[in-house]
Amino acid sequence: MNAPNPASPATTERILVADDNREIADLLAELLASLGHAVDTRYDGAQARAAIEAAPPRCAILDISMPGLDGCALARWVRARPDGAKIRLVAMTGHCAADERARILAAGFDEVLAKPFDLDRLEAALCGAPLCRSAAA
């Protein structure tokens, strides 16, 4: 789990990062923390679901292919929650064919980041989220 970087622009909004590839999850968390976000890191879908149940984040960046509970199943679970529409869901995936992207969006994601993505692309995906709009205001 990563704490927010105190030297960065303040934001109290939390981002959940979940990827079974620990290196990717940790690196992404480090990057987001350096941008001033509070980041919660999880390494599989079940952990991510528990984290959302305990404290719903404003944004969740979820890998699609995770053991146990994959990203699409997790997105459907989030959207079925009463507060599910408030959480911005961003998918990370190496499955980037058009039909795969459509399937991921149909599961409830707001945005799909095709790996390997640029930091600019990541920031643009996050900027659709209330946390970015409020930070910029």
Partner 1 sequence: MSSGDGALADATLLAVLRRAASPLRHDMAGALLVPRMRLQMLRRRAGTGALAGAELQAGVDEAIAALDAVRAAQRTAMAWFEQHDEHMLALGDALAHAASALGLAAGERDVRIDWRGGSASALAMPAQPLGLMLYAGFFHALDHAPSGASIVVACGMEEIETARVGAHGAGLANASAAAPGVCVAWRYEAERAPAGPPAEGGAAGGDAAGAAAIAIPPLRAEAVAALCARHGARFEATAAGASLHLEARP
Q: Which residues bind partner 1 (CB under 8 A)?
A: 20-21, 23-24, 27-28, 30-31, 34, 45, 64-70, 72-74, 76-77, 80, 93-97, 99-100, 102-103, 106-107, 114-119
> With respect to partner 1, which residue has the nearer C-beta, 114 or 124?
114
> With respect to partner 1, which residue has the nearer C-beta, 11 or 34?
34
Q: What values do phi and psi take at 84, rounded to 5?
A: -65, -30
Min dist CB 49 to partner 1, Å, is 9
- Under DSSP, is residue 79 helix (H, G, I), strand (E, B) or coil? helix
What is the number of helices (H) and of strands (E) in the chain? 6, 5
Which tokens is 38 given? 């509070």
Laid out side by side, the sheet with 59-63 consists of: 38-42, 14-18, 59-63, 88-93, 111-114
Min dist CB 27 to partner 1, Å, is 5
> With respect to partner 1, which residue has the nearer C-beta, 38 or 72?
72
Instruction: Count how many Cα atoms sit within 13 Å of the Cα of residue 133 in the half-sphere of its side chain.
Output: 6
> With respect to partner 1, which residue has the nearer C-beta, 9 or 130?
9
Min dist CB 72 to partner 1, Å, is 6
